[in-house]
Amino acid sequence: MIGTAHHYGITVLNMEEVLPFYRDTLGLEVISEGHVNEGSEDSEKFEKFVGVDGAVDVEVVFLDAGGCQVELLQYNSPDGTDAHGASNNDAGASHFCLEVEDIDAFYDELTDKGVEFIYEPVTLSKGVRVAYMYDPEGNIVELSDRSRMNE
């Protein structure tokens, strides 16, 4: 039986650039930080679990996103490549969604901080207001404001 969603994982190229975006700009709280090191108790298990040969140097940060966590992973060994460039209609393209109380105010606040959005917030037929934005490495994050649904 499936329980609730636990976390959404994002592989990043530069933790020092991406972590401040999720922690400081979006306001998610860091729950834990860790490092898989070669020779550590979990390094061999981690390498097998993720299916990446030589995954023996990986930074891992978990952030609280209000009921679900965001996991950031930076593979230092082996180096990965940038998987961006997919269009939203391409199989494998992904995003995750964060609910906000006032999408218009948050949109204004984030654009003032230089966050890039695909388009300004729009209202869908069910009344929910949504917008897609990019994190510093081009991962898509959706913002959703359901407070005005079916007004």
pTM of the full structure: 0.87
Residue type present at position 141: V
CATH 3.10.180.10 assigned to 95-145? yes
All CATH 3.10.180.10 domain ranges of the chain, comma separated, are 7-77, 95-145
Taking residues 105-119, what's their average pLDDT? 96
Q: How far apart are CA 133 and CA 131, in angstroms?
A: 7
Quick: pLDDT tens for 29-71: 999 999 888 777 777 778 778 888 878 889 999 999 998 999 9
pLDDT single digits (tens) 11-20: 999 999 999 9
Name which CATH class applies to 7-77: alpha beta
Q: What is the DSSP string of 34-80?
A: EEEETTSTTHHHHHHHHT-TT--EEEEEEEE-SSSEEEEEEEEES--
